[in-house]
Amino acid sequence: MRILDEHWIAYPQLIAGELKWLERFKLKRLGRPTVRYLDVILSRNSSAEQSIVARVGLKRDGYLLIVPGGGTGHPGAHDAGEQFLGAANSLAETETVVFVGPTRTADAGAPSRPRAGSAALPNVRLRCFGSLPQADLAELMSHARLVVTNGGSTLLQAIACGRACIGVPIAEDQPQRIQRCVTAGVAMAAELNAPSILRAAGKLLRDESARAALAQHAANLQLANGVEIALNALSHLAETA
């Protein structure tokens, strides 16, 4: 603590929790370092390029966004992508669904077919993207009726976009994180299986007032862009060095 100028916490206070009394005592005693919560890392599109929502023919507030996330398999969750994709296929029977994640043959902006024996073949209402630049993903989050995602950073990004969210844990540290979001009224929880995801999504799709309440609570958090917080802190350190 005596040699640190800044201590950054890579989560919002909602997730990381407040500093404990002993931590506050040490900070007061030493007068350093400055503690900052970085909230979320979320790049937004600042260029004049047309929004991805318009580019792929979607309507604002007219689609569901499903993002399983998780670049690698987690213990007990190796089929996470398949569970999310299975739910996406079923939801696409009646809704326009955008799925961002591995489908083994996903083409940008075009429906893709999973291998035989995996989740059901996609409906024409399902748009699959293998991956997207974060700015495009943030744009899709910002205009989705509902976002279904894992309980990691993607959930926090969707909350920062002020959207109604369903969090599905794919790692051991995520159930508690999702529960904190549920307690704060900014997300709904589902288990890591297609039927549970379908039940949660169906419930929110039928309840416009519940979706609106989740979105409003999420917007009220006013989660900041951690990149800007970090850059401002570094600029201040450079000026005072």
Looking at residue 115, what is its pLDDT?
Answer: 38
Mean pLDDT for the chain?
85
Report the C-alpha gap between 101 and 137 in whole angstroms.
Answer: 11
Q: Tally helices (H) and strands (E) across the chain.
A: 10, 8
Looking at residue 109, what is its pLDDT?
Answer: 45
Domains and CATH numbers, the chain: 6-39+224-240 (no CATH), 52-221 (3.40.50.2000)
Looking at residue 75, what is its pLDDT?
Answer: 57
Identify the DSSP state of 126: E
- The residue type found at 51 is S
- Assess whether pLDDT exceeds 60 at residue 90: yes
Task: Over range 30-57, report the average pLDDT.
Answer: 83
Residue 156: helix, strand or coil by DSSP? helix
Q: Are 105 and 114 in contact (CB under 8 A)?
A: yes
Concatenated DSSP letters for 68-79?
Answer: ---SS--TT-TT
Report the C-alpha gap between 59 and 61 in whole angstroms.
Answer: 6
Looking at residue 15, what is its pLDDT?
Answer: 86
- Assess whether pLDDT exceeds 90 at residue 118: no
Taking residue 69's Cβ as centre, other Cβ atoms within 10 Å add up to 20
Q: At what angle do helices 194-206 and 208-221 cross, to 10 degrees?
A: 100
Identify the DSSP state of 112: -
Looking at residue 181, what is its pLDDT?
Answer: 94
